Amino acid sequence: MTQYDLVIRNGQTVTDKEQIKQDVGIKDGKIVTLGDIAEQGTREIDADGLLILPGGIDAHCHIEQKSSSGIMTADDFYSGSVSAAFGGTTTILPFAAQHRGQSLRQVVDEYMACAEPKAVIDYGFHLIISDASDDIIGQELPAMIEDGITSFKIYMTYDDLKLDDYEILNVLAAARREQAMVMIHAENHDVIRWITEKLLDQGCGAPRYHAIAHAQIAEKEATHRAIALAELLDTPMLVVHVSSEAALNEIRRAQERGLKIYGETCPQYLFLTIDDLDKDGMDGAMFCCSPPPRDKQSQEAIWSGLIDGSFTVFSSDHAPYRYDSSGKLSAGAEPTFDKIANGVPGIEIRMPLLFSAGVTQGRMDIHRFVEVTATNAAKTYGLYPKKGTIAVGSDADLGLWDPEKQVEIKADDLHDNMDYSPYEGMIATGWPITVISRGRIVVEENELKVERGSGQYLKRERPEAAKPLEKLVKEMNPETNFNAKFI
């Protein structure tokens, strides 16, 4: 009997560090051999001319999630995970979102029950914490972290989600103690509220005003403040969905000072601009997300942060709301911008569009592409080296990419449950033609090959990246337990 369930031959394996022409031998869902393999596998794939990349990890997506204003995403765990897989992603980390009044255990149990029978690829959860009461932070959160949900998102804006600075400090202190990763949505709530009121008073309610209300200064100020709070307690933190140069520069400055501050950006900040929100009628609603796409200069700045290492992860922030009364237009046919469901889809195009505009067009090398789409997410969220790399002992999660295949993005061809794509008509050069998760062929010849519910839940480790800095640990003031240099 053969030692291998699957052997992939003649391809070039690519990790964040190296590209090697070698065979990949897979057994029981794991990579067991890399190198020349003489023996036949039960199944063989000829990957001549293809790049074999680690399966992508989408570390920020909203699936089967009810927004704080009660609108359900268009994708459930089946359509969301299928769409991810067709775009080369083999692991998703969506959110289990707490609404105020809910216990974290109840929230996680509900999301687990939704995902388990439907997901076709592996998945874990970040929590969203909207209630930072002592019980939640002191007792429930540590229990959830112990159970493998080792990261959580908090918000500085939205009436029903926002934490104030005092609450953020409590959350950061808990994360520090438990060594979990804090993700933060950094926008100044009152700035957005104030501008929104003024705009609406003047009758400026069209979708494009969403981008004006969510001013860059609101993102910059909140990013600066969040970093200051994290520094006070010496707590690692990741700023999600960064859209502007000003916010990026806050992150850069923190990193230059040696702080463990990480950043994430997303396709909408590389491929869309404020002009997209200014389409005829309500069509701009299809591009409303927070923070919003900015101008061309910001796009270039965000590209530079992705290329130079300032950003750690590139995630989709897939937040799919259809362009109808179930989603974008749930508040009526012509809602003002503040009533438009916030978010854009992108789980399937995340990797192909970045591959095309980044690697094919020569902006970034392929190793950096692997780093930001897979390896760094695994490291940041406690999945490495099980996920995010190609190594003996790692899960056999792989995308076989044809670097020359051209695909025109069309909503009709994507596998999510959306009725539009913000990226309609864009051409991607480079596409994953075979996608493998734990040795199972999930996508081949443009067909789904696995059953619903065949994805597995990932109980995650405490991330190495969430450990406070040794240097700062020594500087902590023993009486106050905060960073002594601020006294």
Residues 6+ apart with CB under 8 A from 45: 6, 7, 8, 9, 400, 434
Closest to ligand DUC by CB, 8 vs 59, is: 59
Q: Rule CB under 5 A: is residue 350 a binding residue for Zn ion?
A: no
Closest to ligand DUC by CB, 156 vs 174, is: 156
CA distance 319 to 66: 10
CB of 240 to ligand DUC, least distance (A): 6
Q: E strands of 121-252, at which residues?
A: 122-123, 126-128, 151-155, 181-185, 237-239
Q: Which does 289 bind (CB under 5 to 8 A by kind): Zn ion, ligand DUC, none?
A: ligand DUC
- Residue at token pair 């927004």: 67
CA distance 464 to 92: 19
Closest to ligand DUC by CB, 45 vs 161, is: 161
- Within 181-200, the residues that bind Zn ion by CB under 5 A are 185
Q: Which does 161 bind (CB under 5 to 8 A by kind): Zn ion, ligand DUC, none?
A: none
CA distances (Å), origin 208, targets 157, 271, 340, 423: 20, 17, 11, 18
Q: Rule CB under 5 A: is residue 322 a binding residue for Zn ion?
A: no
Q: Rule CB under 5 A: is residue 371 a binding residue for Zn ion?
A: no
Closest to ligand DUC by CB, 218 vs 289, is: 289
Handedness of CA 348, 349, 350, 354 (dihedral sign): positive
Q: Rule CB under 5 A: is residue 318 a binding residue for Zn ion?
A: no
DSSP 3-state helix, strand, coil percentages of the chain (rounded to 5)? 35, 20, 45
CB of 53 to ligand DUC, least distance (A): 26
Closest to ligand DUC by CB, 91 vs 342, is: 342
Q: Which does 342 bind (CB under 5 to 8 A by kind): Zn ion, ligand DUC, none?
A: ligand DUC
Residues 6+ apart with CB under 8 A from 59: 93, 264, 313, 315, 377, 380, 381
Residues 6+ apart with CB under 8 A from 458: 91, 122, 123, 124, 148, 383, 387
CB of 342 to ligand DUC, least distance (A): 4
Binding site for ligand DUC (CB under 6 A): 185, 240-241, 289-290, 317, 319, 342-343
- Residue at token pair 């020594």: 474
Closest to Zn ion by CB, 67 vs 90, is: 67
Closest to ligand DUC by CB, 397 vs 416, is: 416
CB of 92 to ligand DUC, least distance (A): 14
Q: Rule CB under 5 A: is residue 260 a binding residue for Zn ion?
A: no
Q: Rule CB under 5 A: is residue 317 a binding residue for Zn ion?
A: yes
Q: For the chain, give the number of residues.
A: 487
Identify which of 248, 284, 246, 286 has the alpha carbon closest to the alpha carbon of residue 266.
248
Q: Give the total of residues touching Zn ion (CB under 5 A).
A: 2
Q: Rule CB under 5 A: is residue 219 a binding residue for Zn ion?
A: no
Report yes or no: 285 and 323 within 8 Å, Cβ to Cβ.
yes
Q: Rule CB under 5 A: is residue 64 a binding residue for Zn ion?
A: no
Footprint on this chain of Zn ion (rule: CB under 5 A): 185, 317
